[in-house]
Amino acid sequence: MSELSVNHLLGIKYLNEDDIQLIFETADHFKEVINRSIKKVPSLRDITIANVFFENSTRTKLSFELAEKRLSADVINFSASQSSVKKGETLIDTVNNILSMKVDMVVMRHPNPGAGIFLSKNVKASIINAGDGAHEHPTQALLDSFSIREKFGDVAGKNVVIVGDILHSRVALSNIFALRLQGANIKVCGPKTLLPKHIETLGVEVETDLRKALNWCDVANMLRIQNERLDISYFPTTREYTQQFGVNKMLLDSLDKEIVIMHPGPINRGVEITSDVADSKQSIILNQVENGVAIRMAVIYLLASKIK
């Protein structure tokens, strides 16, 4: 077990348990590196990485770019809004043009599920999926599990509830795969309209009562209501959603035990969680962001070492 079983990171679905452990152990070392006074290592100085974003992103894009730079890779950034994609260029053409500039790795976010898989079959470069529609967001799930592992020492046997819009969430799907691989117990919680049918077949339990779910869990991962993906009305009003599925300090304090709050960001403050929860001691939201850089460094390092 000293290298990944895959050449691309397209989704957690394609990883095995050993891959996840290897990524975590490598990320431990990078976390130490990014806390040094000089936070950069020269490993990837002969690697060029293109960040290709067909969808908006702040955190993920910054986190990837920082991870790449801390590894000394050369980085080029591309965002669809300012590109020839608007003129009708296809995905393969766009990426092949970027690759002909001698790029070794592509980090891609795309609104269509499976875009990364499609690309990996058609172009010669290592592909990292930074989110493909409502499909997967593997590095987010890895950093979420890494943060749980950091907090509790282990992910196995922990009770994790994922709350919110499961239907449109790539974070939820990747998290379910990742947590299952590591032996955590998972519940999903949200309005029935936002829970996919047959989600139980993925090995999770459904709970529609937030208080019950919170009393059961060690960790609550609060998802954002993705207004941009809600094509029809899935719940009457945001206010009603917040009343039923939002977490506030009062609710948190009334639980039987102290639970850990996570959020993949960006937060809609006052909708899925209130400010006093987001900024409380129980929240590890900012740790997640720090761990994101270490996890992405690990993934890039391990994939780059397989580029021959």
Enumerate binding residues for other proteins (CB under 8 A): 2-4, 26, 29, 32-33, 36-44, 46, 71, 301-302, 304-308
Nearer to other proteins, 2 or 237 (CB): 2
In whole angstroms, the minimum distance from the beta carbon of 128 to other proteins comes to 16
Give me the sign of the Cα torsion angle 34, 138, 171, 184: negative
Instruction: Compute the least distance from the CB of residue 127 to other proteins, in Å.
Output: 18
b (16+ CB within 10 A) / e for 7-37: ebbbbbebbeeebbebbbebbeebbebbeee
Residue 36 vs 281, nearer CB to other proteins: 36
As a whole number of angstroms, the distance between CA 154 and CA 247 comes to 25
Q: Which is nearer to other proteins, 295 or 302 (CB)?
A: 302
Q: Tokens 């509830």, residue?
A: 161
Residue 1 or 250 having the CB closest to other proteins: 1
Q: Residue 105 Cβ, how far from other proteins at the closest point, in Å?
A: 12
CA distance 306 to 194: 39
Instruction: Give the contacts of 28 (CB within 8 A, at least 6 positions apart).
Output: 294
What's the closest the beta carbon of residue 21 comes to other proteins, in angstroms? 12
Our CB check for other proteins shows the closer of 220 and 299 to be 299
Radius of gyration of the chain (CA): 19
The Cα–Cα gap between 230 and 115 comes to 21
Q: How far is the CB of 32 from other proteins (least distance, A)?
A: 6
Tell me whether residue 48 or residue 242 sits nearer to other proteins (CB atom). Answer: 48
**Strand ranges, E, within the chain:** 48-53, 74-79, 105-110, 126-132, 159-163, 185-189, 205-207, 219-222, 260-262
CB of 307: closest distance to other proteins in angstroms? 6
